[in-house]
Structure 1
Amino acid sequence: MSFAGKVVLITGASSGIGAETAIHFAQLGALLSITGRNKHNLDKVAEQCGQSKPFIITGDLANENDVKNIIDSTIKHYGKIDILVNNAAIAEFGGIETTSLEQYDNIFNVNVRSVFQLTTLAVPHLIKTKGNIVNVSSVAGLRPLKNNLPYCMSKAALDQFTRCVALELASRQVRVNSVNPGVIQTNILRNSGLSQEQIKIRYEQIKGMHALGRNGDSLEIAKTIAFLASDDASFMTGVTLLVDGGLHIMPPENVAMH
């Protein structure tokens, strides 16, 4: 599998799945444009990409001007985009009685609205290259998780977005797919209000949510993203591909985000 000469734009690349995906694509020869809010972390990821130094764009996806700048800067630097990886996301816990409208808006602004805007801006360039899009969704988009209402809603919206845009762009030979991970040990919970100790306990508790009895690894998701973006998946579009250790087949009583 080679991405030599292909320009890959990855959001949320400063840590977790996004960082691992950037490093993996770099190893496969891609030309990278990576974005996130933390310049220091983006620099560290760039160092791990070896000789293929990524183009770094610092920005907040909740800011419309920053989103536009991500596309404009990438095109100015590389002249094209072949693959868009919509990876950035945030998570907060809460149900219908405990989630504030502010929390709801925060999650939808990053997890859905920014993806809509970024994709809209990227599509003309992807049509030119007959490129493709990989959205990083979640098993939470396909089955309910307790105490995780706005996040589940945002990922369900992203999955439907994937299918609708795949249908729209198929005639232009632009493929659109999503990968739907189970619980992956990343930094996504750091901003959820939990302490490091609570996060450690949480990850230990939720291993049992997966049929395979463990949480996932970022590299497992990065490899799936690369597969969906590659010619090996040339006849796949509109797919929501579960990579969740069997979480989706577990009985409801085993699946609770407390």
Structure 2
Amino acid sequence: MNAHPQRFAGRAIAVTGAASGIGRATAQRLAAEGAHVILLDRDLPGAATTEEAVRSAAGSAAVIGCDLADPASIAAAVTQIADRYPQLGGLIGCAGAVHVDGVQENPFLSKGLAGWDQLFAVNVRGMADLVHQLAPALVAARGVVVTVSSEAAYRSRAGRWIYDATKAALVSVTRSMAAALAPQGVRVLGVAPGGTITEMHINDHADPQAAREQMRGATGGNLLGRLAEPEEIAAAIAFLASDDASFMTGTTVAVDGGGAASR
């Protein structure tokens, strides 16, 4: 028996960044609650692995390639979605980039705007473009949009200032899209996760398995004293995307283990 309520039965919901991390966990959670999940990612093998995991759990999924840094790729994905799903119950934006070309730090004084265009393209412009182009399908279903920002939106770090700026911008864009789409019956919300154990961070290390165990032992700098698992962020996204959050729009919810409260 499925342990989750079927809050999304009969709905098609697209998830960007579905190949790994929070995106994969979100796709699996939504599918477990009855959604047909459209897996959007430029990493097609990774997205196929997510599709296999969803199907092995008796869920429904389909993969569509989409690179949020490439407007042509977005347009092609939108065409496929609009043709196959004229009513789109939701769009969840889990895709994101932390750094450019393997460079984790972008100090303002030494690197200037290096990486600005690529990070803003993936983390802000691509999601806004998807929502704009998919608006007719979202309106037809009175759907919901959930963006994934970060606790970094509310911090100032010299080494990752561009990434932090993109996440702050996404919080603002989320509010603006909510104002634009509310009259059409579409809710737009965001989550701002704290530190989360995902492949994006683990794969930066020579020994990913050791890095995962090290992260599981980290205090996380929050009140709960640990980092989040992707499934915990996915659970919050599922709530916001569901009718249980029907009177919520235009806000970004911190899912950070009390990180903001501890600073």
Report if TM-score (shorter chain) is over 0.5: yes
Counterpart in 2 of 1:255?
Answer: none
Counterpart in 1 of 2:31?
Answer: 26
2:177 to 147, 165, 171: 165
Deviation at 1:186, TM superposition (A): 0.5
Counterpart in 1 of 2:200?
Answer: 188
> C-alpha distance in 2, partners of 1:148/1:202?
22
3-state secondary structure, aligned to 1:209? coil
Describe the shift of the 1:79–1:128 C-alpha distance in structure 2 as closer, same or farther (beyond 3 A): closer
Question: Contact between 2:78 and 2:130, CA under 8 Å: does it hold in 1?
Answer: yes
Deviation at 1:250, TM superposition (A): 2.5
> C-alpha distance in 1, partners of 2:259/2:152?
10
Describe the shift of the 1:102–1:196 C-alpha distance in structure 2 as closer, same or farther (beyond 3 A): farther
Query: What residue ranges of structure 2 are gaps of 5+ in the alignment?
Result: 100-104
Q: Superposed, which structure 2 residues align to 1:1-258 within 5 Å?
A: 1=5, 2-50=7-55, 51-92=58-99, 93-145=105-157, 147-189=159-201, 195-196=206-207, 203=215, 207-251=219-263
Deviation at 1:211, TM superposition (A): 1.9
Question: Contact between 1:60 and 1:66, CA under 8 Å: does it hold in 2?
Answer: yes
> C-alpha distance in 2, partners of 1:194/1:104?
24
Question: Contact between 2:69 and 2:126, CA under 8 Å: does it hold in 1?
Answer: yes
Please report the TM-score for the alignment, with normalisation by the length of structure 2. Answer: 0.88
Deviation at 1:114, TM superposition (A): 0.5
3-state secondary structure, aligned to 1:32? strand
Please list the CA deviations of residues 79-114 of structure 1 after superposition, one character each: whole Å capped at 9, or x if unmatched.
321101011001023332244534122111100110
- Aligned-partner residue type, residue 88 of structure 1: A
> C-alpha distance in 1, partners of 2:214/2:262?
18
When the two chains are superposed, the root-mean-square deviation of aligned CA atoms in Å is 2.1
> C-alpha distance in 1, partners of 2:220/2:60?
39
3-state secondary structure, aligned to 2:199? coil
> C-alpha distance in 2, partners of 1:17/1:161?
20
> C-alpha distance in 2, partners of 1:199/1:45?
22
Please identify, of 25-34 and 102-111, the stretch whose mean Cα deviation from structure 2 is larger. 102-111
- Aligned-partner residue type, residue 37 of structure 2: L
Describe the shift of the 1:146–1:210 C-alpha distance in structure 2 as closer, same or farther (beyond 3 A): farther
3-state secondary structure, aligned to 2:67? coil
Question: Contact between 1:143 and 1:248, CA under 8 Å: does it hold in 2?
Answer: no
> C-alpha distance in 1, partners of 2:111/2:212?
23
> C-alpha distance in 2, partners of 1:54/1:201?
30
Deviation at 1:161, TM superposition (A): 0.3
Describe the shift of the 1:156–1:235 C-alpha distance in structure 2 as closer, same or farther (beyond 3 A): same
Question: Contact between 2:19 and 2:47, CA under 8 Å: does it hold in 1?
Answer: yes
Moved over 6 A (4+): none
Please list the CA deviations of residues 3-56 of structure 1 after superposition, one character each: whole Å capped at 9, or x if unmatched.
011110000000000000011111111011111122211111111113333110
Deviation at 1:120, TM superposition (A): 0.8
Describe the shift of the 1:235–1:19 C-alpha distance in structure 2 as closer, same or farther (beyond 3 A): same
3-state secondary structure, aligned to 1:8? strand
Question: Contact between 1:112 and 1:154, CA under 8 Å: does it hold in 2?
Answer: yes
Deviation at 1:60, TM superposition (A): 1.5
- Aligned-partner residue type, residue 68 of structure 2: L
Deviation at 1:168, TM superposition (A): 1.5
Please list the CA deviations of residues 174-195 of structure 1 after superposition, one character each: whole Å capped at 9, or x if unmatched.
110001100101122367x654
Query: What residue ranges of structure 1 are gaps of 5+ in the alignment?
Result: 252-258
Counterpart in 2 of 1:254?
Answer: none
Structure 1 vs Structure 2: percent identity of aligned residues? 34
- Aligned-partner residue type, residue 21 of structure 2: G
